[in-house]
Amino acid sequence: MEDIIVPIAIVGMLFIGMPWLILHYTTKWRQSPKITDEDEQLLDELHLLARRLEDRLQTVERIVAADNPDFRPDFRTDFRPSRPPQDDGYDFDRQNLQGRN
């Protein structure tokens, strides 16, 4: 009896299950929403804005680098301090609070 059930199950999966699975996801893929003209225009505007912001950032970095020779504008890599932080008694909870009193 088990010799008959296994081949029938395999044939059923091959000829019924696999085509159903392929057709099901093909129709889901075709029904998925497409990018509209409005969305494409928004993406173009965001791309232009990002390029303008990048240009501004590079300009600011050039200005700061001209004023400060120790400035390193490339922080895109993993930042690691040159020396380990030392405990100099500075209270970080009180920073920039002197002018607010």
pLDDT tens, 6-59?
889 899 888 998 999 999 999 998 888 888 889 999 999 999 999 999 999 999
Whether the CB-CB separation of 30 and 23 falls below 8 Å is answered with no
DSSP 96: T
Query: Which residue did the predictor score with more confidence, 84 or 58?
Result: 58
- Among 36, 56, 57, 54, which Cα is nearest to 46's? 54
- At 73, is the pLDDT very low, low, confident or very high (cuts 50, 70, 90)? low
Placement of tokens 């008694």 in the chain: 89
Ramachandran bin of 89, using left for φ above 0, alpha for ψ from -120 to 50, beta for the remaining angles: left
58: Cβ–Cβ under 8 A, 6 or more apart, which residues? 73
- Among 20, 19, 17, which Cα is nearest to 9's? 17
| Length, in residues, of the chain | 101
- The pLDDT value recorded for residue 71 is 80
57: Cβ–Cβ under 8 A, 6 or more apart, which residues? none
